[in-house]
Amino acid sequence: MIPPFDLTRQYQAIKEEIDAAIARVLQRGRFILGQEVEAFEREFAAACGVAHAVGVGSGTEALHLALRAAGIGPGDEVVTVSHTAVATVAAVELSGARPRLVDIDPQRYTMDPQQLEEAITPRTRAVIPVHLYGCPADLAPILEIAARRGLLVVEDCAQAHGAQYQGRPVGSWGQIAAFSFYPTKNLGAYGDGGAIVTHDAALAQQARLLREYGWAERYVSHIKGTNSRLDELQAAILRVKLRHLESWNERRRQIARLYTEQLRDLPLALPYDPPDGRHVYHLYVVRHPRRDDLQAFLRQRDIATLVHYPQPVHLQPAYAELGYCPGSLSLSEAAARQVLSLPMYPELSDDEVGAVAGAVRKFLSQAQ
């Protein structure tokens, strides 16, 4: 069986480092907001090219608290994409704001800037470009529109640790950004975790207050906050993994090149590697009209794949109240019917990549 990801292989490769980091925390006996979190925040901020990082409980909470730190709340509208993990839209609603959903650029699978311009209303306060699958969104026109219309830019970097746009890390372009450390991410914890990053000291301080009951001093709430803290064990694990992130991302890019070399001559849409950015291939997503048949064919050959995502947010039952209908965001809907994520993780061997590509080729030769 070739799984879509395999976290045990990664652990075995860095077992001694991980075990030592965990033992260090256990021996120290402090488990919430201690020196591991502080050190990780410094190191992750430096890796993202920003001044501040604030560790929180999950990627969803990172996005939610980033919006709240920036003053987004009830009565406000936030523009983002429908072709994303539902967490993006859930975070907007957690802030009290209303999401406005737009369609995608079909090459990048990220926000179409023209759609953003058309979606802005007098109530729009912020825009969330999602760097999906490891591919940076086309930020230049998004930032230009946001600056001209007075909008906050909150980057959703949950799938893009180490990705770059025009030579700078994603997360360093907007006013504030959110990362997830869900275990399968390019930089993943062994449980939930997330971080808010920003150049703005005031936004960072507000996020720190919000993540722990609004405390500037213990037991005294200066604002209404919540409990969303990155714990010491996860921070220690993430510090180890952060040291390997660049080499892991380079291996992902190498695997992507191998896939592309072996699949490029087929009637199959392959990932777009933008010339203005650095794709880090959190996922290697192909596209075919007979996606479900291809997925079943691969499953029969012990190759597991996933679909990211099978239903766009605007058509999900929980979000019917937003008022969208089938056909309203046609490019997102078409992508949901056709995209397929092939196995992708740094420990995947060249032979396994060849086996996956060979099976895809076989299916497509029989399909013609």
Question: Could you read off the pLDDT of 148-170 as tens digits, one per residue?
Answer: 999 999 999 999 999 999 999 99
Rounded distance, CA 37 to CA 229, Å? 9
What number is the average pLDDT over the span 129-149?
A: 98
> Minimal CA–CA distance to 271: which of 261, 285, 283, 282?
285
Residue 104 has pLDDT above 70, yes or no: yes
Confidence of residue 110 (pLDDT cuts 50, 70, 90): very high
Helices 350-367, 245-263: crossing angle, 10 deg rounding: 30
Residue 292 has pLDDT above 70, yes or no: yes
What number is the average pLDDT over the span 100-108?
A: 97
Four-CA torsion 74, 78, 81, 82, nearest 10 degrees? 20
Residue 124 has pLDDT above 90, yes or no: yes
Confidence of residue 122 (pLDDT cuts 50, 70, 90): very high
What number is the average pLDDT over the span 247-257?
A: 98
Question: Could you read off the pLDDT of 299-311 as tens digits, one per residue?
Answer: 999 999 999 999 9
* Residue 275 in tokens: 């010339």
Question: Could you read off the pLDDT of 163-198 as tens digits, one per residue?
Answer: 999 999 999 999 999 999 999 999 999 999 999 999
Residue 352 has pLDDT above 80, yes or no: yes
What pLDDT does residue 1 have?
95
CATH match for 7-102+109-242 among 3.40.50.970, 3.40.50.720, 3.20.20.10, 3.40.640.10: 3.40.640.10
Residue 139 has pLDDT above 70, yes or no: yes
Contacts of 57 (CB under 8 A, 6+ apart): 192, 193, 194, 211, 227, 228, 229, 230
Confidence of residue 31 (pLDDT cuts 50, 70, 90): very high
Confidence of residue 368 (pLDDT cuts 50, 70, 90): low
HEC per residue, 214-227: CEEECCEECCCCCE
CATH 3.90.1150.10 domain range(s) in the chain: 246-367
Rounded distance, CA 270 to CA 353, Å? 15
Confidence of residue 217 (pLDDT cuts 50, 70, 90): confident
Q: Does domain 246-367 correspond to CATH entry 3.90.1150.10?
A: yes
CATH 3.40.640.10 domain range(s) in the chain: 7-102+109-242
Peptide bond into 309 cis (omega under 30): yes
What pLDDT does residue 163 have?
98
What number is the average pLDDT over the span 2-31?
A: 97
Residue 249 has pLDDT above 70, yes or no: yes
- Mean pLDDT (the chain) is 97
Residue 252 has pLDDT above 90, yes or no: yes
Helices 35-48, 232-242: crossing angle, 10 deg rounding: 40
Strand partners, 53: 197
What pLDDT does residue 367 have?
72
What order do you get walking across the sheet with 168-169 strand by strand? 168-169, 164-165, 277-278
What number is the average pLDDT over the span 349-355?
A: 98
What number is the average pLDDT over the span 60-67?
A: 98
